[in-house]
Every structure is written in structure tokens, then in C-alpha cells.
Chain A
Amino acid sequence: MIELYGIQKSFDGRMVIKDIDAVFETGRTNLIIGQSGSGKTVLLKCVVGLLEPDAGDILYDGRSLTSMNKRERVQLRTEMGMLFQGSALFDSMTIEENVQFPLSLFSSLSPLEQEKRAHYCLDRVGLSDSHKLFPAEISGGMQKRAAIARAIALNPKYLFCDEPNSGLDPLTSITIDELISDITKEFNMTTVINTHDMNSVLTMGENILFIYQGEKTWEGGHEALYHSDNERLNEFVFASTLMKRT
């Protein structure tokens, strides 16, 4: 379980995240939704500690992020996996080496076991025959999957995904969404996902946090999504013609 208390963050005097509280529960897919530029990425980066929030605290199963020393943070990071908006695979390494990289640094596995584990993760995301290719040589959807494989290599307790299906076709995005949901259940992880894709919201939104211009504006499950009387949320949810018809 991850708890957020009063998270604030500003850049050059401009408040990007305004006092957000939230609880992300274990074994569930927690979604952060909002328009482009609403501050989803910044919030997620504050949660994982890539950005220092100006105020507030984050508790990882009771452990406070802000009062951790360097060593405890490194330890916590080995329990985290993150999928970035642009995949962020290391382009000087092959797919296999990318997945093996965190293992070689932070696991006590022998090189052979590392390789086996990397192959297992790649099989899990359906990339069993692209091991030796470089990120530039595979498609965007495959890069996302490889990045998921890398994120789960160390068997993380916490999985963070920044727009896992941006730039993908609807079919591939559904595959990715399902993959993330399945993995979350399979390994009982605390998963937090940023998205502005309504499809994903409907298929995997168990707990949804809607942010508008850096403020938490609404929170709930996806069944409640349609019946809210929050104007901003309705604007967002019913923006696409597809949604209007249903």
C-alpha cells in the first residue's frame, strides 16, 4: 500500500501539483487520469522519488520516503519497477541485456540464473524471439513490452506505469493493459498507472484518481465514473464521441 499525504510540487514558482492525498492499495491497479499537462507524470515522479516534492510525505507500506536515508532509498528502489512514457530502454544494450541489467546489479543470481530470469520475463510479455535485437530495431509496442519485462525483472512490490499505451494502436494497448493487470494480480503488486486513455480506464480502473490542473478533483471506481456530477470529470470522460453514444 502506498499513501500520499499533501504532496505539493512547483517549478519556477508555478504550482504543478497542489496538495494531493491518495491511497494506492496492494493487488489493485490504481489509475491516475487527467488531461495532458495536468501533472500526472510529475506526481508519479514525486511518488517514486525521482522528483523531491516541496511538501508532503509518501508512505510505502508504512515506510516514509522523505525520512529515508540514501541506503534505505536504494533498497526501496530495488522493490520498484517503472515503465516510462517513452519506454526508456537503454539503446546501447540489446533487449535481453536491458532486462538483465537490474538483475546484474541488484540480485545475487549467477549470470546463468540471471539469463534464465530475463528469458522468463521476456516470455511473460510475449517477446521470446527478440532477445538479441536492439530497442531501435523493434516496434513501439514491443519496446513497451520489453520495458515491462525490465520493470518486473526484480519481482517488484510496486509497479509504476506512465502512460503504458500512449502511441499504440487500440489492440496493442489492450494487450498491454491486460498484461499489466494480470501481472499485478499474479504477483500481488501495488500498481499505479498514469493514463489519459478511456479504454484503459474502463478495462482496468479499479481505483481512479482524476487530477485537473494539479489538483485531485475526483476519486472512485470506474462504475462510479459515469454517474459523477463533477463537471471537469464529465468533460474528460465524455470528450470522445465514442463515449457520448454509450
Chain B
Amino acid sequence: MALFYHVGRYSLLMYKTFSVPQRWKLYFKQTWKEIEKLGADSLPITLLISVFIGAIMTMQTQMNTENPLLPRYTTGLVTRDTLLLEFCSSILSLILAGKVGSNIASEIGTMRITEQIDALDIMGVNSANYLILPKITGFVVFIPVLVVFSMFSGLVGGYGVSLFTDLITPANYIYGIQYWFIPWYVYYSLIKSVVFAFIISSVASYYGYYAYGGALDVGKASTNAVVNSSILILLFNLVLTKLLLT
């Protein structure tokens, strides 16, 4: 029952959100701000995590496949495909759900409980459209950039392992990450990430927008936002993989 209630209210909010902005100039200004705040500011953490995961994945794969019968491209290929297929879209999105989702939910939630949203409504501003649309479009537009950077830095992390340890030679690693490269995997990852970005920003906005009460409730709203958008990401990951890869 509660599920239907939330889905219904979420749909109505999205309907209100996706209308023509009252002032285009203001909309672009807000969107630019969100790209900076939600997107560009997530770049450092994306790079950091990706480099480390790329490095660790290379080490683990290499250590677990020390069978001379396995071809020399194994480690590079496994690392590359895991990064492209899962890490740089799904896992990265789960991490960003924590960062961006809680940011959005607490910002909008605070505006709700301090009556700033009412103040917008009373002026005749479509508050959902004004506050939420720039966040959704900003984040959805920028997430492919994050994913591409994540892919590169992940592979660079693995290369670092080949340079600084003697687990694997750089030549084998480079050979591996180029072996049987399927470009579709990159697109698949990008498509997934765009869907996930929409889930994160819209679900977080939903929980913030309907926060009611005090500071404690804003905290709850942002926890709910992170938990539920993570669950939805996992669910949609399954659905999209079925649709796009099989």
C-alpha cells in the first residue's frame, strides 16, 4: 500500500517537475550551478576511488589466476571488463547515491521545513520545476563525464600496479586491456549511468520535497533517499543488463 502511495506521489511530483521553466535564463543559471555542485565536485572522489579499485582489481585478478595455462591477457581483460561493465556505472552510482543523494535530499528538505518552498509557491513559482529540474538535468548531463573519467582512472590504477609491483608486466597488462575490446560495453555503461543519475536525483528530490517536521526529519529524508535510490539502482541494473546485454 505504502509503495503505491509513494509511486503515485513521486509520479505527480515528476509531472510537476517536468514542465516548461518559467524563465529560461534562470533555469540555465541554476542548471549550471548544479552541474558544478553535483557533478564537478564529485570528480575528485570518483577519480580517487576508481584509481584504487582499478589497482586492487588488477592485483586480485593476477594473484588468483597464476596458472601458466591461462593466456597472458587474462588479468588486463578481466580488469577492463569488470570496470567497464559494472564498476564505472553501477558501483560508482551507488557511491554517488550516498554523496549526491544525501546532498540533494537534505538541501531540498531543509528548504521545505524552513518554509522556503512555501515561499516559492506563494510567489507563484513552480517550486518543483525551479528546484528539482536543474538538479536532475544537471546531474544526468554530467554523469557520463564522471563515468568516462572513472574508466580511464581505473585502467590507470591497474597500469600503476604493473609498473610498481612485479605481479604483472606492463606489456601484458596493456595487451590485456586492449584484447577483444567491445565498444558496446562503454555505451552500455553510459546508458546505465544516465538512468541511475535520474534515479538518484529524482528520488532524493522526492524525499526532500516531502519532508515534514524538523531537522531530525531532514536526516531521515536523506537516509531514505540514499537507501531507496540504492535499491532502485540495483533493481534497474538487473533490468537494464537483461535488456541491453542479453
Which residues does A use to contact B, with CB under 8 Å?
45, 48, 50, 73-75, 77-78, 80, 82, 84-86, 88-91, 101-102, 104-106
A74 near B124 with CB under 8 A, answer: yes
- The one of A74, A75, A84, A101 that contacts B118, using a Cβ cutoff of 8 Å: A84
A105 near B23 with CB under 8 A, answer: yes
A-B contacts, 16 of them at CB < 8 A, read A50-B118, A73-B124, A77-B121, A78-B123, A78-B124, A84-B115, A84-B119, A86-B114, A86-B115, A88-B115, A88-B118, A88-B119, A89-B119, A102-B123, A105-B26, A106-B123
- The one of B22, B114, B121 that contacts A50, using a Cβ cutoff of 8 Å: B121
Shortest Cβ gap from B187 to chain A (Å): 37
Given A74-B124, A88-B115, A88-B116, 5 other A-B contacts at CB below 8 A?
A80-B122, A86-B115, A88-B119, A90-B116, A104-B26
Most buried by A among B26, B116, B121: B116
| Cα–Cα, bound, A180→B219 (Å) | 36
A106 near B118 with CB under 8 A, answer: no
A105 near B22 with CB under 8 A, answer: yes
Instruction: Give how many A-B residue pairs fall within 8 Å (CB-CB).
Output: 47
Q: B155-188 toward A: CB 8 Å interface, digit per residue (1/0)?
A: 0000000000000000000000000000000000
- Chain A residues, Cβ within 8 Å of B121: 50, 77
Size bracket of the B interface: 10 to 19
Which residues does B use to contact A, with CB under 8 Å?
22-23, 26, 114-116, 118-119, 121-125
B118 near A105 with CB under 8 A, answer: no
Nearest 6 pairs between A and B by C-beta? A77-B124, A88-B115, A84-B115, A88-B119, A74-B124, A82-B122
Shortest Cβ gap from B245 to chain A (Å): 42
Shortest Cβ gap from B78 to chain A (Å): 46
A90 near B122 with CB under 8 A, answer: no
| Cα–Cα, bound, A85→B119 (Å) | 11
B114 near A77 with CB under 8 A, answer: no
- Chain B residues, Cβ within 8 Å of A82: 118-119, 122
Shortest Cβ gap from A60 to chain B (Å): 14
B122 near A77 with CB under 8 A, answer: yes
Shortest Cβ gap from B110 to chain A (Å): 8
* A50-B124 contact in complex given A88-B114, A91-B116, A105-B22, C-beta closer than 8 Å: no
